[in-house]
Structure formats: structure tokens, C-alpha cells
A and B are shown apart, each in its own frame.
Chain A
Amino acid sequence: MTELTIYELSSPGRTGVTFPEPDVPRVKLPENLLRKDLPLPELAEVDVVRHYVNLSKYNYSVDGGFYPLGSCTMKYNPKINEDTARLPGFAFTHPLQPIETVQGNLALMYTLQEWLKEISGFAALTLQPAAGAHGELTGVLIMRAYHKDRGDTKRVKMLIPDSAHGTNPASSAMSSLDVVQVPSDARGNVDLVALKSACDDTTVGLMLTNPNTLGLFDEHLAQVIKIVHDCGGLVYGDGANLNALLGIIRPGDVGFDLMHYNLHKTFSTPHGGGGPGSGPVGVAKNLADFLPGPLVDIVEESSDDEPPLFGFVTPQKTIGRVKAFHGHFGMLVRAYTYIAMHGPIGLRQIAEYSVLNANYIKARLKGVFTVPFDRICMHEFVAESQWADAPGIRALDVAKRLMDYDFHPPTNYFPLIVHEALMIEPTETENKGTLDAFADALIKIAAEAKATPDLLHEAPHKTPFGRMDEVKAARDLVLCCWLPEDYEKEEQ
């Protein structure tokens, strides 16, 4: 049931979309600079539409079902977001238009900056970073610039807990910082003794995901932050798990110096099959001057009969821009729409119900799956997928078998500190019926693991495709479509 590739579907001479003849007199093209062939496929519109619709049917999606992928916050993406982002006034504005002609965009960005600052308790914020990892790189560069500006040049060490996402150490390494791993303690918190001994006058800071990737809120958060601050370091918040904190606690209030937000997780902008994301960064007052520029600000205050004029300003000691133009504006429109519709009470409910849902699944699985750090969790938790009486069964087998029950598997093998980890994040948008069906499936699979292990080893069975030969993919490295033998190289 494979779908041919767009090149295999090509038939020379077909065209999907054509354009008018030029309405200006023709000039000759510069022969010596022209290309000879342009090997693109040739199809009619209906061929293209059917092809991609057929492909879409092979995807599992949030619109199609439950997607409890830990750390990814696969919540329902409201349809209105898609409509507002496509309003012609937003979609057809050029990033370099004079500010007088884009006051709507700038007002939206300014307001969103204000809202995000308020939600997490920061003094200033950039909307420019394109994704979470890009926000991290921005944050790391800000931390470096801050220390350098104070003449404190010997700080080269970034502390990162062992439960952190891989992007944290990678972002630090991109700025040539040395990464020092900090272990977790027996309750899943940052190990205070280890942290203390790692902190010294070469410490740039700590990159902390809280709640961490075990779904646990650090029980000694204030102490962790104090230890880092005491050695002159900064505390960076990885906002991947902000969904659990909306209206519950503001990271800025407890001493985080800066943090990135994932608009594509917390604020419902869709994941798009892997992107685009959007990763704004909020900072405390003493870091505001280092933000990437430009930022949106009021450049002329409002008067009795005139609204304020919004424009761009560049922070004094800016690290510079981290991408072209102003960030993923289309994602900003979606996040704005989402926050406007939730208000302060709705935002808090998001956190409350995401935590309720995670704890409910955890309660339902009790006694069947081991949860290594068994406390009240936040928006997600990690279960071990191994049983003494089911040798040979791995997390991967359970994950693949879940597909036969029509669920997307949880994140597996992460965080690295739990063996055979299944990281489950249901989000707030799932109802009790769905959660029960999912828990029932997992419990059934745990029984299958013992009774009929091969059923798991060979899973999935009911999906359009089975397990993949990943070794072959890496060995053969076929990364491009096969070009039909009779593909005609056209001459211009």
C-alpha cells in the first residue's frame, strides 16, 4: 500500500499551474548564465492533490487521535488559530514595510510580549527565536554576554542536570562552553550536594527544566537557584514544560533569570510534522539590554486622539539578531489568539487539568507499570516498561504495540536516567474516556508482554507500515527520489 513518489508519478508534458504571458516586451536572457535542465516532476493539479492527500492518510495526528508524547505537549490545536494566522492583513504583510503600515502586527507583537512577560514574571522578552533550541542558543549567548560585560571572563562552564533535553548541552557547546552534568537525587530532584560542588567562579549558569523531564517539580527549587546565584551564575529555565505552570507559579518570581517559551507546546501552535516552532525568550531586568534586536516597543506614546505608535528598538548591548526578520510571526498570531481566548483563569485551568490528566493515568497504571519516582507528578510522568516475568520486552515493544490500539506511543527511552522509559504527557485537552481507553490498552499490553511476547516484538500489526529497517536506511543512504530512466532533460 505504498504511495509512488512525486517523481514516479511524473509524466513529461503535464503541468499543474501555469502563469500568464508577460505583459511587457521580452528581453533576451543572458545565455551564458542559464541552466540547461530543470529536473522537476511534471504533474496535473489533481495528481498533486491526490498524492499529498494519500500521504496524509499515513500520518497519525492530534486531529486523528490521542498523542501522549512526553515533553512535546501535543494538545489539541484550535481551528480558529489557523484562520486568524491566515487573515490577509497578517499573511500578506512584508517584514520590511514601514512601521506606519504594520501597526496591527506590531500591536499584536507588543501585546504578546507583555502577556508572555506577565505569565512567567520576566521584565523583557524577545519573540525572535524560531524554536525552543533556538531560544536556548539565544539564552546561552545572553548569559555569556552578561558575564563578559561585567568583565567576568573566566566563566566557561554550564551546569546541566542529567535529566535534561539534548538541546541544552548542544546549545551550550555551540557557544564553546564546557558542559558539566549534574546528577538527580533519589526523589528526582537536582542533587544539591553535587550541584554545590560543581558551582564555582567559572560557572556561567545552570540550565534547568522545571518541572523536569520526569514530570517532577523540584522540591528544593529555591535552594537550587540560590546555590547557583551564590557562585555568581545565572539560572536558565528550559520552558519545555511550562504547560504545567500556567497560573500556578511564575518562574521569574522564584529567581529564574531567563527562560525560553515553546509557543508550539504551551500555547497550541501546531507542530507541523516537526516545525515550525517558536521560542521566545524572557529575561530579568539585568539581562534586558542583551536581548536580540530588534524588539517591538512604543516609539510614540498615545495622546488624546492618537493611539500609540509601535516600532522597533534595539537593546543597548544586544547579542545581535538570531535570524532574519522578526521571528515566526504566523505562530505569534496563533499564540496570541490562544491566550486571548483563555484569559487568566483559563490559563490556570490548562495547567490544572494537564496535571490532573497525567496523575489520573499514573493512578490507573499503578501496580502494572513501575513509576521510578512515585510522587504527585506535574503534566507528565515516566513509567518503566520492563517486567521480571517478561524478559526481552523493551519499551520500544510496548510503544509499537500501542499503535495497534490506535494510540500514538509516548516518548520512549527518554529521559536517559530511567531504563526502558515511557514518558507520558496527556495534556489538558483529553477527556476521561480517552484516558481510560489508553490506560486500558497499556494494562492489556502489559499482560500480553507476559503471555504473548511475540505479539509485542512484531508489533505494530494493524498499521499501514511495519517496523523499519533503520540499519539499511543508514547504510544505503538513499536520500533522494529515483529519477525515471526515461526522464527527459529538456533544453531551454
Chain B
Amino acid sequence: MTYIPHSPKEREAMLAAIGVKTLEDLFKDIPAKVRFPKLDLPPALTEMEAATELGELSIGNENVRTDLVSFLGAGAYNHYIPAAVDHILRRGEFYTAYTPYQPEISQGTLQAIFEYQSLICALTGMEVSNASHYDGATAVAEAANMAYAQFRGKRNKVVISPTVHPQYRGTMRTYVQGMGLELSGDDPKADLYAGPEALESLIDEETALVIVQYPDFFGRVYDFTKLIELAHGRGALVCVTANPTALALFRPPGEMGADIVVGEGQPLGIPLSFGGPYLGFFTTRKQYIHKMAGRLVGETLDNRGQRAFVLTLTAREQHIKRERAISNICSNQGLLALAAAVYLSLLGPTGLRQVADLCYQKAHYAAGKICTVKGYSLCFDTPFFHEFSVCCPKPVAEINDHLLEHGFLGGYDLGQDYPSLKDHMLIAVTEMNTKEEIDALVDMLAEVNHD
């Protein structure tokens, strides 16, 4: 079926008004040889049939709500999403609107983004947030882009910690291919037991940007104050990519002096959805605002004296600056930014702290129990949030196969990305995991060891 409303009579009247006889007459500019190809696609389905087909595809998966108990994180986290979030997202007024280029009839989207910007600034301890990027990985890449623009021609090196998410580093490698930026520190064979001080020797007068993750990919929480001071001393900017849930408990990077704070906003009310669409948040200090890419909403007045909101500083963006723009980004993750705003408004400081605290408590309970199992130990003794690395007595794939047989989704196999962390598993625990599930996981890990 289609969503085309024309009756045959209307169609004929319209063709007559245009002055052609048939629909095909409208396509005379198209070379006849290649015109009207026969597409080899399955025949159309009705809505009822499509609902069935998609339903069948969806049950070809095992999901982390009804089929599997998940201890998998590594950049995407299974959190509870309050019912009201999706009810707001489902309002056609929000999800079927375009970018708010006409502010008189887009105040809903504009004010929601303004509030999103405010909430993200509050969470990160930063002064300015843009309207969002595609995801955490591209937000990190855009930070490099921004630092490059800030120092254009003078500093062409980016130092990135090897404990930044492997896929974020991969994305960064792709982005810098054409940018003339050198990446330093992107070495999975580096000493992963070292703290942020390991980066110090890499930061020099060529360095535009230093990138660290908070908590890092292994779940560890470091205070970056000293590293940031050192980087500033050498004239470099510092970007921290942060987990927003962790920011409910831990000192915000803004307080540590970070120049750019970005991150993956998925934990803020956005479903796992097999990896997207997610939400890349991006914040900086006011002094760098003109080098920041992405949409920005600011407060103003309309000609009736009412407070209102508009897209502002648009002269930074590609539709005006074209090849002189800092980034090519055009869209933002509007609807996901709305989800995060609704989520943060619903939870408030109390609810968000509760979620973070539950994650922390349960993860630490799990870590403590797992360490009592023979053959398993915690890799690092640094404080952690809701994810931790475990040295295992067997290959992680083998352990995960065993867990999966019992309906448990085990942790991330760190050996895939870090040769020195063979047989190391990254386990994530959120408020969704019960004590019973954690105890069962511990029992299964013990079983594997006895096999």
C-alpha cells in the first residue's frame, strides 16, 4: 500500500492543469534507455502484513528485557526508561517537525533544545552546550575538529588515551584521515595499568587536544585535574568524554578544568536499539563558542515582547559558511535530545542520583562476589563506577557461551581490542540488574571454572 491520496479524477484534473496527458509525460528529461527500470523487490505488503513481518524479524532476536539478563555495556547501557519519556516522544508535533528554521512556529522544539542545553551544562559543569551530535564517537571526533580549527596551522597533534572506547578511537582515525591531524597515544599495547599521568609525556607544544574518557573504557574513575593543568600549561585543550549517569555522582569534568566535555547520551532515556539512534552531547566554555560546530539555541524576544528562542550563531554552520564551516554537520539528534531533557526533568537530582547510586552499589556488590570465585580477580584497583574489568581463568568467548546457554549476556571481551587484556571481561551492572541475577552470574562463572 502507499500513502498517496489522489483519486483518479483528481489525478486527471492535475495532469490537465499541467498540460500533459500521462504521468509518464512528466519524465521526458530522463534518458529513455534507463527510464522506468523494473525493480527486483518483493511485492507490496499491507500494513497488517508488514506488522506481521516486522514482528517476526523482531522475535528473531533475543532482547535484554524479556529473553536475556544483560551484563554487557561497553558504551551502551541498559537503563530503565520512565513511561512518560516515550509518550512525549510520540507526539507528532515533536517527531514530525523539521529543524526549527521558522521560529514563530517551532517554539516547542526550540525551547526543548534550550532546556536540553541547560540540563547538559548542569550535568557536565560546562558553560555552553550545542543541540547535539550524532553519537558519543562523532562528538569526540568533532572535538578534534574544533581544536584543529582553534589552532589552525599551529598545532596538529591530538593525544588520545588508549582507554577511550575502541570504537570512538576508530571513528577518530577515520575522521582525521583527511584532516592533517596526527593521532598520538592511540596504542592498545600501551601500559593500561597506568593512570592519566601516562599521557603527560605525549603532550607537547604541537598538541591541540588531549582526549580522555570518564569513567574510562575499563570503568575506572580518575580525577583529571592535574592532567588538565599540565595540558593547559603546554597550551593544549582537553576534551573529556563522559558517561552522563556517572556525572550524577562524580565530580563534573567542568570542575576539573576541561575545555570540552562530550559523551554518549544514550543512558538518558534512550533505548539500546541495537546501537542507534543515540545522542552525542557536546559542551565547551563560552570563549570557544565560535569554533564549536552544531546547532545552538539562544534566548531572545519576539516582536510582541514575548520571551522566545531561536537558532543562533548560524553563521558558523555549513549552510552559510559552506567550505569555510568548521564541520559539515547539518542535523542534530533533535528527538533524542528531547528524550534526554524529559528523562532528566522526570528524574531530577534525586532520581538521577538514585540511578547512579544503584549502578554503583550493584556493580560493587557484583565485583566483590566475582572476586571470591576461584580464578577470577579484578584487573585494576582504581575506583570504578558501574563497569569493571575482570581477569578470567578461561577465554571470555568460552565463558560467554556458557552464560548465553543460561540466558545471560556476559561482558565485553577486552582481548578483542587490547592484546594484553586477553581473557579479560568488562562487566556492566545497572539498576536493572537484581541481586538474584548477580548471584546467578557469579554461580555460573564458578561453573565455567569447574568444567
Q: How far is the CA of A45 from the CA of B48 in the complex (A)?
A: 35
A408 and B102 contact, CB distance less than 8 A:
yes
A363 and B17 contact, CB distance less than 8 A:
yes
Closest chain-A Cβ to B345's Cβ sits at a distance in Å of: 5
From B7-15, B192-200, B204-212, B387-395, the one touching the partner chain is: B7-15
B102 and A60 contact, CB distance less than 8 A:
yes
A285 close to chain B: CB less than 8 A: no
A15 and B96 contact, CB distance less than 8 A:
no
Closest chain-A Cβ to B268's Cβ sits at a distance in Å of: 11
Q: How far is the CA of A350 from the CA of B39 in the complex (A)?
A: 14
Q: How far is the CA of A88 from the CA of B414 in the complex (A)?
A: 28
Q: What residues of chain A lie closer than 8 Å to B175, measured between beta carbons?
A: 137, 174, 322
Closest chain-B Cβ to A332's Cβ sits at a distance in Å of: 9
Q: What residues of chain B lie closer than 8 Å to A167, measured between beta carbons?
A: 318-319, 328, 330
Q: What residues of chain B lie closer than 8 Å to A469, measured between beta carbons?
A: 300-303
Closest chain-A Cβ to B209's Cβ sits at a distance in Å of: 16
Closest chain-B Cβ to A75's Cβ sits at a distance in Å of: 7
A-B contact count (CB 8 A): 686
B201 close to chain A: CB less than 8 A: no
A355 and B76 contact, CB distance less than 8 A:
no
Q: Which residue, B90, B170, B173, has most C-beta atoms of chain A within 10 A? A: B170
Q: What residues of chain A lie closer than 8 Å to B248, measured between beta carbons?
A: 35, 38
Q: How far is the CA of A136 from the CA of B327 in the complex (A)?
A: 12
Q: Which residue, B70, B72, B90, B102, has most C-beta atoms of chain A within 10 A? A: B102
From A226-234, A340-348, A447-455, the one touching the partner chain is: A340-348
B174 and A320 contact, CB distance less than 8 A:
yes
Tell me whether A40 and B123 are in contact in the complex, defined as CB-CB below 8 angstroms, given that A249-B34, A429-B4, A478-B298 are known contacts.
yes
A61 and B319 contact, CB distance less than 8 A:
no
Q: How far is the CA of A134 from the CA of B170 in the complex (A)?
A: 16
B234 close to chain A: CB less than 8 A: no
Q: What residues of chain B lie closer than 8 Å to A57, measured between beta carbons?
A: 93, 108
A481 and B115 contact, CB distance less than 8 A:
yes
Q: What residues of chain B lie closer than 8 Å to A467, measured between beta carbons?
A: 104, 302-303
Which residues 153-189 of B sit at the A interface, judged by CB distance below 8 A? 165, 167-168, 170-171, 173-175, 177-180
A122 close to chain B: CB less than 8 A: no
A274 close to chain B: CB less than 8 A: yes
Q: What residues of chain B lie closer than 8 Å to A69, measured between beta carbons?
A: 98
Closest chain-B Cβ to A415's Cβ sits at a distance in Å of: 11
From A89-97, A193-201, A386-394, the one touching the partner chain is: A89-97
A272 and B335 contact, CB distance less than 8 A:
yes
B329 and A133 contact, CB distance less than 8 A:
yes
Q: Which 7 A-B pairs have the closest CB atoms?
A: A175-B178, A104-B60, A325-B275, A89-B58, A63-B92, A95-B275, A343-B44
Q: Given known contacts A6-B345, A52-B342, A121-B37, what 12 new A-B pairs fall within 8 Å (CB)?
A: A90-B274, A92-B78, A92-B271, A98-B404, A104-B58, A141-B177, A175-B177, A273-B112, A273-B334, A326-B274, A465-B103, A481-B115
